[in-house]
Amino acid sequence: MSNNLFLLVARVFLATLFIVSGLGILADPSGFAGYMGFIGLPFPTLVAWLVIALKVLGGLAILVGFQTRYAAYAIAAFTVGSAFLGHMDFSDQMEMTAFMKNFAIAGGFLALSVAGPGALSLDARRGHATLAHA
């Protein structure tokens, strides 16, 4: 398989997690906003809608390879932030695993931001995709 096909598969794997999760939150945004308020975030309704937008729109951007580097940076930052906000109970093995998974996912997005989306992307069609060789 070529690097471009592997980059497409990586984008599909990474994007699917965020698109499905964002659509799940969209099914009950007030419930998610309640959770955001419960963990102490200000303006929980606004935060909920920003999270939905980032997950769905950012995930779709990654999926089709549009503005891939910017979307990857944004989702990586979000993922690290959510690890610190939602998975800091290290006495719970599941929370510790979720914390580490968030960092692994962020690492995948950072690798994608360096490699670029590959030739099978909208960025490539627009002449903005390169594969890092250094």
Q: Is residue 68 a part of any domain in this protein?
A: yes
Our count of domains for the chain comes to 1
Segment 78-94, tens digit of pLDDT? 999 999 998 989 999 99
pLDDT digits (tens, 9 = 90+) for 23-68: 999 999 999 999 999 999 999 999 999 999 999 999 999 999 999 9
Closest CA to 71 of 102, 25, 116: 116
CA pair distance 95, 92, nearest whole angstrom: 5
In a domain, 133, yes or no: no
Average pLDDT, the chain: 93
Report the b/e string of 95-111 with b at 16+ CB within 10 A.
eeebbeebeebbebbbe
Q: Domain for residue 12, yes or no?
A: yes
Domain boundaries, position 42? 3-120
Residue 126 inside a domain? The answer is: no
pTM across the whole model: 0.90
Distance separating alpha carbons of residues 18 and 64, to the nearest angstrom: 14
Does the residue 130 lie in any domain? no
